[in-house]
Structure 1
């Protein structure tokens, strides 16, 4: 059975009166108004029966678009103030209200049917692992998993609200920028299966104590599992495997180290940077050969996690591997490899970046190019690293040199530490280029690149290098 696509699924019916009651809001609408379609943040995505969530962004106030949402079919608005002539449930806090609504919705679904909820967290790999799990489960039941990275206090409730009584599997990506985030998200959506990938240096700015505080925050996921649920931990990461002591339910492990439940052996990276390995379910001694289509050695961790999670849910290992071997990265700007007609290869991994994912992407660049092709690393700033940001960028520049990358192009002043590290490590002359803007980077690359070059584009999303990646592959 194929998945019910997120975009086309419909929630249970809520009346305006029920939404006001659940959220503690003030009803400024006909109480009998019905919400019969998905909740949306973008007025352009509204359809007949939608609930429009008038969230306040940095540069946009959703209330200004409420009438447009109604024109597109929305029947009700969730907002923080009255809007003349518009049916609104007025609440003090949009995020909290949306969370309460999603919590109530999932509770109703659990009472009506047999929905199973999977949650994934980690400093890197969440979105890809979510996509892999979603693709496997979609072959075996109606599955909801979001496109992209809907992993925060707004995105996760919106995904939960898209589930229906027919939904068998709900796959959720859960991000943490500060302590307590995962406790909050798992309170909205308690988990049948909790998957922890790696603990790294992402979002260090929100964790005053550094990486050990990141580990403590990630461990909140294992405490958000329902009775009879399962916790799945990466045994290759010492900080992750230590979380087993905090789990009250069954714990299964995966990795290349010995004594894991899902054990990878005979690991190999092919000339295109794709992982090949043998996986054994040590509970049953069943063994399968995995041949990933995804580029990057780090995807072996994501694949093992996906196999563990889906097997726990009753999917046969052979069937899971069969889907996995044909799976792709559905979300954009994640190790997306494009072979241009002029013979230049672009590796677009520009959606997000932290020191761990940067190292993995640079290693993939070196592997794909081998020793015969020029390598170009176009790197921007890694955001939210806190007080150690400069040091982390410097370290990355040194790694570029150690991997013998032919050219480093550093984009933006915030990433200048990368250039400093490369030069301190011994990269001189024309091997390091600094440009202040994306436009200047594009101009330089247009003149510099030639047939056979392999180019990696990577930074945090907020740095904007995804726009450059789109231009380099002809999407802009």
Structure 2
């Protein structure tokens, strides 16, 4: 965080400052801000966030031991640390993030990119950050820090030396993206796709469209909207962009009804070692060889290239830096195991779109004489659409001729039933209530030449099953 006096911090937080020890109102604080006491470093600021099962106020002592010099709290505390009392710590850190980013913008040349979409946000964020790191100091979210806690904490990492802030905006209800993006007013807003992820929270696909379009409305006038030309719901955001005074730049595989992709990919080839294509932009065409698995990641790369070129990065530099990315993120199409039994651990998130893309990638990277195995868990936050969407995944797995469909967990059972109804018999589809049962089965079932996809939402916990299988077959 930038250096601020305790008075400036209290004013930005709209809180009451209570001094301890030798601190004065003019004492300067510049340490990192975090809600996890275990991650606090010397000089850091601890945010005592109340939670569903634990209260951050109980960990203030631990934060002090690790070097915290300031606590942001919701009630007075006895601990010997200077603290600022606010009505709500989440509102407080959002206010502080807005203040810090505004200060850095006013003093330097900070450019802000916001990214949203039903799928691909974290991968695109990582790809764009890799490109921009070659241009100047870049701050981007750790893992999927894209909610009311993670987004402000990421923003608070900017300093006066930061050239680029890449913010990822997720949401489970209308209005969240507007609030988060409104803290920084991005120069560029990237919308990847509008799909069924979190549709239960939004109440359907049209509500999801309106929620994702909040990012376009939050981009500062004169900024740029980077939109997916291949998604009709995203192209429908172009009039919104025009309404708020934005330039639109399109990326994609082809042409939509009203526009053509200015950054385009052709000749896409998916292999077990990575994904290749020809990228055309700005009048030139260059080959791109991604180490990241999956045809769907080509779209994420195109989005990152479009945003980076809008910031003045050359296509040549974009390509060279993207080719250094080994994996999108841990637990996202992460290759594990060995050439004998290859495990693809993609169990951090799952939606109908990403589940379909991962299954199709499994089919694309499995060669002659090799066997496809899909280990599948539940997709969360689908609400009333959960049953039919799980059915579709089970049916797709059968149509792709996946040899072993291993469904894990009661919430995913309809995948198994749909696979059986679609014609997957003779133990081609099996069901296990727990990951431990599935692990025991797979230890004995998997054999040389198997290509295994492990895919589920984070809440299903199959990412740890993927890790165990990767270790066992390494």
Common fold: TM-score over 0.5: yes
The aligned residue for residue 266 of structure 1 is: 266
SS in 2 for 1:226: coil
1:215 aligned to 2:209?
A: yes
Q: Which one of 365, 368, 378 corresponds to residue 381 of structure 1?
A: 378
Q: Which one of 299, 306, 309 corresponds to residue 307 of structure 2?
A: 309
The aligned residue for residue 6 of structure 1 is: none
SS in 1 for 2:369: coil
CA contact (8 A) 1:265 1:277 kept: yes
Q: CA deviation at 1:17?
A: 2.6
Distance (whole Å) between structure 2 residues aligned to residue 273 and residue 246 of structure 1: 40
CA contact (8 A) 2:337 2:343 kept: yes
CA contact (8 A) 2:265 2:302 kept: no
1:49-128 equivalences under 5 Å are 49-85=43-79, 86-128=81-123
CA contact (8 A) 1:264 1:280 kept: yes
Q: CA deviation at 1:113?
A: 0.1
1:18 aligned to 2:4?
A: no
CA contact (8 A) 2:72 2:84 kept: yes
Q: Deviations over 1:90-124 (max 9, x none)?
A: 22211111100000000000001000001110111
Q: CA deviation at 1:198?
A: 0.8
1:359 aligned to 2:353?
A: no
SS in 2 for 1:120: strand
Distance (whole Å) between structure 2 residues aligned to residue 169 and residue 419 of structure 1: 46
**Deviating more after overlay: 300-309 vs 288-297:** 288-297
Distance (whole Å) between structure 2 residues aligned to residue 329 and residue 92 of structure 1: 41
1:255 aligned to 2:245?
A: no
When residues 423 and 116 of structure 1 are mapped into structure 2, their CA distance, relative to the original with a 3 A threshold, is same
Q: Structure 2-normalised TM-score?
A: 0.94
CA contact (8 A) 1:262 1:279 kept: no
Q: CA deviation at 1:328?
A: 2.8
1:232 aligned to 2:226?
A: yes
Q: CA deviation at 1:142?
A: 0.8
SS in 1 for 2:226: strand
The aligned residue for residue 171 of structure 1 is: 166
Distance (whole Å) between structure 1 residues aligned to residue 354 and residue 266 of structure 2: 23
When residues 268 and 170 of structure 1 are mapped into structure 2, their CA distance, relative to the original with a 3 A threshold, is same
CA contact (8 A) 1:273 1:367 kept: no
Distance (whole Å) between structure 2 residues aligned to residue 197 and residue 266 of structure 1: 18
Distance (whole Å) between structure 2 residues aligned to residue 296 and residue 147 of structure 1: 22
SS in 1 for 2:145: coil
Q: Which one of 170, 177, 186 corresponds to residue 181 of structure 2?
A: 186
The aligned residue for residue 325 of structure 1 is: 323
The aligned residue for residue 3 of structure 1 is: none
SS in 1 for 2:220: strand
1:394-473 equivalences under 5 Å are 394-473=391-470
The aligned residue for residue 5 of structure 1 is: none
1:295 aligned to 2:293?
A: yes
Distance (whole Å) between structure 2 residues aligned to residue 329 and residue 118 of structure 1: 22
Q: Deviations over 1:76-95 (max 9, x none)?
A: 11121222124321222111
Q: CA deviation at 1:32?
A: 4.1
1:204 aligned to 2:199?
A: yes
CA contact (8 A) 1:274 1:297 kept: no
Q: CA deviation at 1:261?
A: 4.2
CA contact (8 A) 1:34 1:49 kept: no
Q: CA deviation at 1:293?
A: 1.2
Q: CA deviation at 1:27?
A: 2.1
Q: Deviations over 1:185-207 (max 9, x none)?
A: 11111101110101110011211
CA contact (8 A) 1:267 1:275 kept: no
Distance (whole Å) between structure 2 residues aligned to residue 321 and residue 101 of structure 1: 36
The aligned residue for residue 153 of structure 2 is: 158
CA contact (8 A) 2:229 2:251 kept: yes
1:141 aligned to 2:136?
A: yes
Distance (whole Å) between structure 1 residues aligned to residue 146 and residue 15 of structure 2: 25
RMSD: 1.6
CA contact (8 A) 2:139 2:164 kept: yes
**Deviating more after overlay: 56-65 vs 189-198:** 56-65
CA contact (8 A) 2:410 2:433 kept: yes
CA contact (8 A) 1:38 1:51 kept: yes
Distance (whole Å) between structure 1 residues aligned to residue 109 and residue 318 of structure 2: 21
**Deviating more after overlay: 255-264 vs 42-51:** 255-264
Give unmatched runs, 5+ long, in structure 2: none
